[in-house]
Amino acid sequence: MQKMIKVLAASFGFAALLAMPGVADAENLITFDAAAINALPGKTTPDKLIVRPFLQPGGDTTSARVSLPANSDIAPHAHPAGKVAIVVVLSGDFKIGLGDKFDEAGLKTVAPGGVIVLRDTDPKHFARTGNGPVELMLVAAPKASVAPTWLGTK
């Protein structure tokens, strides 16, 4: 089974990752520590966010780990039309608000472990980080594939 996992990993381009320090393949379980995650390739946005996708581009669902630097303001922006974004704050001091303009009074703190749901009907949103970096887990999917509980409906 372990050989099959390594062949599968190689076919997805993960062979080099398995050799990286901090990446473990213990009896078929692949894990990444923080250093290994930070070593993964990512795309840096104009706001200096580093986005490391989990899924291949082109599908209906997007999933990524997002790293934000300390003391940063993220300009108002929207996600693709028809998609609901579910954001989990993994670590750091993170504040977010809704609106077309950055409004410090509209910022709401979301503690690590907290979840933010940005519906496809919400206006643009903006954010601010505190004195340390912030790590987020983002999943954006078509509204039809999101469990109603996360949309505030039954």
- Reported as a single tens digit per residue, the pLDDT across 113-139 is 999 999 988 989 999 999 999 999 999
d(CA 103, CA 122): 16
Q: Which pTM does this prediction carry?
A: 0.76
d(CA 131, CA 89): 15
Which residue pairs, CB below 8 angstroms and at least 24 apart, start in 146-150?
A: 146/84, 146/86, 150/84, 150/86, 150/115, 150/117
- Reported as a single tens digit per residue, the pLDDT across 14-66 is 444 445 556 666 577 888 888 888 888 889 988 888 898 888 778 889 899 99
The residues spanned by each domain of the chain are 1-40, 42-151
> Do the bridges between strand 62-68 and strand 134-142 make them parallel or antiparallel, or are there none, so unpaired?
antiparallel
d(CA 68, CA 127): 10
The CATH fold of domain 42-151: Jelly Rolls (2.60.120)
